[in-house]
Amino acid sequence: MDIAVVGLGSMGMGMARSALARGASIRGYDIRADVRAAFEAAGGRSGDTLANAVRDADVVFLVLVNAKQTEEVMFGPEGIIRDLNKGAAIVSCATLAPKDARDFAARVEEKGFHYLDAPISGGAAKAAEGRLTVMASGSPQAFAAAKPALDMVAETVYTLGDEAGIGTSFKIVNQLLAGVHIAAACEAISFAKRLGLDLTKVYEVITKSAGNSWMFENRIPHVLDEDYAPRSAVGIFTKDLGIVGDIARELRFPTPMAAEALQLFLMTAAAGMEQDDDASVARLYSLITERQ
């Protein structure tokens, strides 16, 4: 199987290297030349253009940030639709609004390809280990075409329905929780700091107590180390919680905690930290409390 990964960020690079380690014939592409060079240094093949990266691929993973990037890569002036073999599967891993996923699926399938709505979760570390969770929906044909490649990058692949948009709906629920949990974790550790507590001991105690969450356990070490290199950037949650809000308004459904978390991420982004690690919400609290 010939696999291509478009978007070699922390997740895409991990997925590409995981598939490479499992013996896949894989090409990677990213608009950043230094990232392509890093993938080649790891033993991968990198296309110098998007067309060269995906040509003759059986499966293409699109590990991109948003719907705009996904549409551009598929249907833009250099879009991959023109270079894929008929019957190839496009596996879209970005977090999108469900209506965008449905639209993309219809347009891709009209051109004779398969589209799998397949957002991912697990973080960069699990991506590198081939242990991601994939929340997928699409036609049985799309699942069949993509399954061998999915097995190389994921520990768990959920088959959630035969229509695009279902997978992204599941991911949006996940992102509501993830965003709220990150905001709560950053608030809690900042509150502990204001109380004058030993933050290392706070982390030890909370991770063994009922107040723990996966996000507290995963993100608070970034705060303790003052290491805000982006594993997942603040801008991801301004986007994803924004999608939650858009859908909630359409449904006339209240999501007050998600809305509050969104405001914290927006303030963090406005303070100049949009491209920094999402645990930077704790830095926002520091900026606020230092002025008191």
Secondary structure (DSSP) of the chain: -EEEEE--SHHHHHHHHHHHHTT-EEEEE-S-HHHHHHHHHTT-EE-SSHHHHHTT-SEEEE--SSHHHHHHHHHSTT-GGGTSPTT-EEEE-S---HHHHHHHHHHHHHTT-EEEE--EESHHHHHHHT-EEEEEB--HHHHHHHHHHHHHHEEEEEE--SSTTHHHHHHHHHHHHHHHHHHHHHHHHHHHHHTT--HHHHHHHHTTSTT--HHHHHHHHHHHHT----SSBHHHHHHHHHHHHHHHHHHT---HHHHHHHHHHHHHIIIIITTSBGGGHHHHHHHHHTT-
* 155 & 246 share domain: no
* 284 & 242 share domain: yes
* 146 & 6 share domain: yes
Please identify, among 136, 163, 190, the residue that sits at the C-terminal boundary of a domain: 163
User: What pLDDT sits at residue 9?
Assistant: 93
User: What pLDDT sits at residue 292?
Assistant: 60
* 283 & 256 share domain: yes
Please identify, among 163, 191, 221, the residue that sits at the C-terminal boundary of a domain: 163
Q: Of 111, 147, 171, 239, which one is the catalytic site residue?
A: 171
Q: Are 190 and 220 in contact (CB under 8 A)?
A: no
* 21 & 159 share domain: yes
* 95 & 194 share domain: no
Please identify, among 142, 163, 184, the residue that sits at the C-terminal boundary of a domain: 163
User: What pLDDT sits at residue 291?
Assistant: 66
pTM check: above 0.85: yes
* 202 & 99 share domain: no
Which candidate, 8, 122, 143, places its Cα nearest to that of 27?
8
* 236 & 186 share domain: yes
- Residue 153 sits in a domain whose CATH number is 3.40.50.720
* 8 & 143 share domain: yes
Q: How far is CA 4 from CA 28, 56, 134, 192, 223, in A?
A: 6, 9, 17, 46, 35
Per-residue pLDDT of the chain (292 residues), as tens digits, is 899 999 999 899 999 999 999 988 899 999 999 999 999 999 999 988 999 999 889 999 999 999 999 999 999 999 999 888 889 999 999 999 999 999 999 999 999 999 999 999 998 889 999 999 999 999 999 999 999 999 999 999 999 999 999 999 999 999 999 999 999 999 999 999 999 999 999 999 999 999 999 999 999 999 999 999 998 999 999 999 999 999 999 999 999 999 999 999 999 999 999 999 999 999 999 998 876 6
* 18 & 124 share domain: yes
Domain with 91, as residue range(s), is 2-163
* 136 & 246 share domain: no
**Residue 171 falls in the annotated catalytic set:** yes
For the chain, the domain total comes to: 2
* 197 & 152 share domain: no
